[in-house]
Amino acid sequence: MSNLCHIAFIMDGNGRWAQRKGKKRSDGHRAGADTMQDIVNICFDKGIKHVTVYALSTENFIQRPKDEIDELLVLVRQHLKHSSKHFNRLLNKGIKVEFLGDLTVFDNEILDTIKKVRQDTLDCSNGQFNIALNYGSRDEIINAVNLCVDSNTKVTQESFNRYLYTKNIPDPDLIIRTGGDIRLSNFLLYQAAYSELYFSNTLWPDFSKKELDDIISNYSSRKRNFGSV
Ligand code: IPE
Ligand code: IPE
Ligand code: MG
* Residues sharing a CB contact under 8 Å with residue 43, sequence separation 6 or more, in sequence order: 7, 51, 212
Instruction: Note the pLDDT of residue 158.
Output: 94
Model confidence pTM above 0.85? yes
Is 38 catalytic? The answer is no
Rounded CA-CA distance 197/175 in Å is 5
Instruction: Note the pLDDT of residue 1.
Output: 47
* Residues sharing a CB contact under 8 Å with residue 91, sequence separation 6 or more, in sequence order: 120, 121, 124
Rounded CA-CA distance 146/41 in Å is 36
Residue of 11, 12, 26 to mutate, ligand 1, most atoms within 8 A of C-beta? 12
- What is the number of the ligand 1 atom nearest to the C-alpha of 13? 14
Is 12 catalytic? The answer is yes
- State the catalytic residue, choosing from 14, 27, 41, 60: 60
- What is the number of the ligand 2 atom nearest to the C-alpha of 15? 8
Rounded CA-CA distance 194/188 in Å is 11
Residue having the nearest C-alpha atom to atom 14 of ligand 2: 185
Instruction: Note the pLDDT of residue 2.
Output: 57
Question: pLDDT (tens digit, 0 to 9) for every residue of the chain, 229 residues total?
Answer: 459 999 999 999 999 999 999 999 999 999 999 999 999 999 999 999 999 999 999 999 999 999 999 999 999 999 998 888 889 999 999 999 999 999 999 999 999 999 999 999 999 999 999 999 999 999 999 999 999 999 999 999 999 999 999 999 999 999 999 999 999 999 999 999 999 999 999 999 999 999 999 999 999 999 999 999 9
How much distance in Å is there from the Cα of 80 to the middle of ligand 1? 20
